[in-house]
Amino acid sequence: MYEKLKKYHFSIVPLTEEEWAMKVRHIQIKKLRKNDFLIKEGQTCTSVHFVNKGSFRTYNLIKGKEVTTNFFFDGSYASDYVSYLTQKPSLEYIQALEDCEIFSFPYDRMQEMYESNPKIQKFGRLIAEKIFINMYRRQQEFLFFTPKERYLNLLKRRPKVIQQIPQIYIASYLGITPEYLSRIRNELKSTADSLL
């Protein structure tokens, strides 16, 4: 049942079977239907969630318009990490793109595990570092890369987004219109076809 979670955790910080059993004891299993919200703006993120099945989209409402900021897939964590760390209300929405199953770890129980086990604390630190690196890369891309370069980077680093996410959300994530995204895709297809 926890195979994906265990594989993910052990790929970053291996645990003994006893340590793993301790972590599993804190898991809360939740199921969400397509379009359900994991969190909404104004709510405090009280747990970190491992996506066992399904996928999620994160977005902000800016002047009434949805602006997509991230995607989470099975085999990864999904949370508003800033809200989780600060225990203050979230500024974003996390919505299920399909029926999902998640394993949740409440904030207070995670703090207990951090205090009692240095390996789990190390795991939390490494995850936080990965989140920071991804946020930094995204910021740099918007400052210095063209939309086409952002699309190519997304294609290279996160092909699952291109394969599974509706074009309207990908365009929003890249900061462009769906029509402009179509032009980029057509241009890349024409270039590829001309090389054949």
Least confident of 47-56, 77-86, 163-172, 184-193: 184-193
What mean pLDDT comes out for the span 74-93? 93
Q: Is 0.95 topped by the overall pTM?
A: no
Q: Is the pLDDT of residue 182 over 90?
A: yes
Query: Into which CATH architecture does domain 3-116 fall?
Result: Sandwich (2.60)
Say if CB 119 and CB 69 are below 8 A apart.
Answer: no
pLDDT over 80 (residue 154): yes
What pLDDT is attached to residue 192?
A: 65
Query: Within 10 A of 112 (CB to CB), how many other CB atoms are there?
Result: 14
Tell me the pLDDT band of 173, cut-offs 50, 70 and 90.
Answer: very high
Here the tokens at position 63 are 């002047």
Beta-strand relationship, 37-39 and 93-96? antiparallel
Arithmetic mean of pLDDT over the chain? 92
